Structure 1
Amino acid sequence: MALVRARRRRSSGLRLAAVGAVVVVLFAANVLLGSYTVTIPDVFRILGGADIPGASFIVMENKLPRSVIGVLVGVCFGLAGAVFQTMLRNPLASPDIIGISYGASASAVTAIVLFGAAGAAVSLSALVGAMVVAAAIYLISRRGGVAGYRLILVGIGFAAVLHALVNFLITRTDLRTASEALLWLNGSLNSSNWDRAAVLVAALVVLLPAAAVLSRSLQGLVLGDDAAAGLGLRVEASRLGLMSTAVALAAVATAAAGPVASVAFLSGPIARRLLGNRPSLVMAALVGAGIVLGADFIAANLIPGASLPVGVVTGALGAPFLLWLLATANRSGQGG
């Protein structure tokens, strides 16, 4: 038994290292390649303080902060999705499906359309909106203890209402403001800068240790509420702590880059399959970073002379993955 566990840990470590290497390669591709290519020696010279006309500005003010924020946003969404999906034991329980991302979107669009907000004000509005909607979903679904299916259904209801609100606000404003709102709603890394990266790093300094500590209780919640309580776990307190951390992760990522579609939804299930159906927050974070970096590289280079929002590419991945997830669940006798 000990030998089997050792082999499993070694296999998991190798797979984590492989996915981490893919993330590093994608990060390098985003910095080095594209419409303006930079050589590896030049990148190291720029990082060392050398001033190369043209290249220094593009690397330090565009490519590098964009790639850094891509990694951070992917980590946040990947962790948030994995926490929700594992805690509620349902692959549909991701922030972009159960209404939390819609709360951020509705709040941000309201700020843009009604108050003419821009920049940091939009990000702050998105952060507040995600927190408020998450609290409302939790309070409404907690009667008799938060059951996974009830929280998901309440969240989907909130998502429908908030989606309708966003559509109404966009139809009632002028064309310029509507285009700004739609650009934000698609999720984009085009306006990345070092200030946003610093905010994300500061948030992760607090949230990553919290997620690591709470992941111990997450392992108990996977067994079910009764089994977790039998093990001495404070079920409601643990669930509230995990939800708060996951909501904060999704909220800060949405505030930085907009509601990048499907990243939280995709990361957890892909991470589980890579590890033989075992949940792993570290793998989910790496997968999330890889998805965002890969999608952003495609979005930036798919159409010459234009840079698409990264959410357009990740959103296109979400629908077929959902269909595949449902099909495989039905084949294994787990379909609804």
Structure 2
Amino acid sequence: MACIVALILIISFLGVLMMTLGNTNYSLKEVIEYFFSTSSKGAAYTIKTLRFPRLVVGGLAGFAFGIAGYTFQNLLRNPLASPDIIGVTAGSSAAAVFGILILGLSGAIVSFFSVISGLAVTCVIFLLSGKGQAFGSRMILIGIGMQAVLNALISWMLLVGSEYDVGTALRWLRGSLNMVQTSDIPAIMVVTIICGGLLLVCDKNLRMMQLGDEFAITLGVPITAVRVCCMVCALVLSATATAATGPIASVAFLSGPIAKKCTGNGKNAMPVAGLIGTILVYASELVSKNVFETKYPVGVITGLLGAPYLLLLLLNLNKKGA
């Protein structure tokens, strides 16, 4: 509990910085005044229409990516199993780019296509993975292959798409909070509350399953129901978050391992993973907007954080013969 309280305090601090820092800096008092102002111009517009949606959607997306990544890694018992590694986010991205560049769509319809495509691609990966003890490893390998195919398809669409829409697609593909709107908040909030709540309820059973299916069954865990519920909820969370912000790299991949370090793999690891996901998004957004002269998408910064960890993880797995 102390870890969760500390993380919430860090999130609150970073949230205040996100609302106060930018091209124009405001004091916290000014932010509060402008937020409740009836004016729709100037500073009030910046606070209510630009910064507040980034704060809420970025926080919810980070939390969704965090617990989705933690769930995948525990379900498949593999630290490489996260939505951005096994092809879930690539499926959502391909549909969004197709909608933007080929069909000329925008707004909620692109998000809808993104979610449906992410779920459909995962179903294909799941069916191709078969059954048995090697299911998790096969799913990861097939997912990586599917991701390569989808990334090639995305590259082709970027080449043939309208040059006027390519910039929008590229910003979305890098994972960005720049295009989020107030209208994006309800969908991701409802999905995060429902699916995140279900995952937190299943967390105890999920941790028991880490000891082996046979042991979990003796403790009365309905392993099939828990596995299906966790998989579906994690998929919907990651696909919805991707639809809202684009595929913010490495948040799902990093949150679980950091959470386990913070809790000693304890009972609060799942909510901690979600909170760490939010911190990663907030901190990366602040760095991208205030440290560099060029305003990079948040996904560029999180990708830089995840790349060294992925290399270290692969080296350690290779040493263990895994």
TM-score by length of 2: 0.93
Aligned-pair CA distance for 1:213: 1.9
Matched pairs, number: 321
Distance 1:166 1:51 in 2: 42
**Is 1:138–1:146's contact at 8 Å kept on the other side of the alignment?**
no
AA in 2 matched with 1:299: S
| 1:250 alignment partner, one of 238, 242, 254 | 238
Structure 1 range deviating more: 37-46 or 272-281:
272-281
Q: Give 1:78 deviation, angstroms.
A: 0.3
How far residue 334 of structure 1 moved from its aligned partner, in angstroms, is 4.0
Check whether the contact 1:254–1:260 (CA below 8 A) recurs between aligned residues. Answer: yes
Task: Give the equivalent residue in structure 2 for 1:34.
Answer: 22
Aligned to 1:96, the other structure's residue is in SS state coil
Larger displacement relative to structure 2 (126-135 or 148-157): 148-157
Deviation at 1:272, TM superposition (A): 0.9
Whether the 8 Å CA contact 2:255–2:274 is kept in 1: the answer is: yes
Q: Which amino acid aligns with 1:155?
A: G
Matched, 1:73 2:73: no
Kindly indicate whether the alpha-carbon contact (under 8 Å) linking 2:66 and 2:276 is maintained by their aligned counterparts in 1.
yes
How far off is 1:86 after superposition? 1.5
- 2:288 corresponds to 1:299: yes
- Native 8 Å contact 2:64 2:196 kept in 1: no
Change (3 A) 1:116 1:207: same
Amino acid in structure 1 at the alignment position of 2:206? L
Q: Against the structure 1 CA distance between its residues 96 and 30, is the aligned structure 2 distance closer, same or farther, given a 3 Å change threshold?
A: same
Q: Does 1:18 find its partner at 2:35? A: no
Which one of the candidate residues 140, 147, 156 is aligned to 2:144? 156
Q: CA deviation at 1:100?
A: 0.4
Q: Which runs of 5+ in 1 are unaligned?
A: 1-12
2:274 partner amino acid: A
Which residue number corresponds to residue 102 of structure 2? 114
State the distance in 1 between where 2:264 and 2:56 align: 29
**Aligned mate of 2:226, from 222, 231, 238:** 238
What is the RMSD of the two structures over their aligned residues, measured on CA atoms? 2.0
- How far residue 116 of structure 1 moved from its aligned partner, in angstroms, is 1.1
Distance 1:328 1:37 in 2: 44
* Identical amino acids, percent of aligned pairs: 38
Shift of 1:221: 1.8
Distance in 2 of aligned mates of 1:146 and 1:248: 24
On the 8 A contact 2:288/2:298 being kept in 1, the answer is: yes
- Unaligned 5+ segments in structure 2 are none
Answer with 242-251 or 269-278: which moved more: 269-278
What is the correspondence of 1:265-284 to structure 2 with a 5 Å cutoff? 265-278=253-266, 280-284=269-273
1:145 Cα deviation after fit:
6.7
Report the equivalent of 1:288.
Answer: 277
In structure 2, the residue matched to 1:173 is 161
CA contact (8 A) 2:280 2:302 kept: yes
Map Cα deviations across residues 39-92 of structure 1 (whole Å, 9 max, x no partner): 111222234446596221111111111111111110000010010111212111
Shift of 1:93: 0.2
Distance 1:53 1:234, change over 3 A: closer
Deviates more, 1:119-128 or 1:261-270: 119-128
When residues 28 and 335 of structure 1 are mapped into structure 2, their CA distance, relative to the original with a 3 A threshold, is: farther
